[in-house]
Amino acid sequence: PETVSGMKATINDGSVLQENLALVMMQMRSGAISLLQTSFANDDHGSDPWSFYIKVLGTKGSARYSYNDFVDNRPHIVHSHSYQAYPYTIRNTSRHFIEECLRKRKPPLSDISDA
């Protein structure tokens, strides 16, 4: 990003010790603008609950991924249900780490220096 701006806040009854709202806006060198926002301030029973999604619009097509693609209807902490974000990525990363790194003693594909 060429320019980054962000904000954070906490909305609660005093029981939450960290921020539960965040927003980041980024402008890329190309002039494109990205917006990232999140809120865990309350449960969401709206028509598009926990409307987390990644949407990319390009000159040759588009793609969209949503947490709503993988819903787990079991209660989780304070919410009535939860989502499995990127379930295949988590599964494949775990499988690679166990099978390749632990069993075959190969180095991981990345480490903390890549963060």
Sign of CA pseudo-dihedral 70, 48, 79, 86: positive
pLDDT of residue 93 exceeding 90, the answer is: no
Per-residue model confidence as pLDDT tens digits over 62-79: 877 776 677 778 887 777
Cα-based distances in Å from 95 to 8, 80, 85, 100, 107: 35, 29, 17, 8, 14
> For position 85, what pLDDT does the model report?
65
Per-residue model confidence as pLDDT tens digits over 12-60: 888 878 888 899 999 989 888 888 888 777 777 777 766 667 777 777 7
Pair 22, 8: CB distance under 8 Å: yes
Mean pLDDT, residues 74-94 taken together = 75
Residue type, 30: S
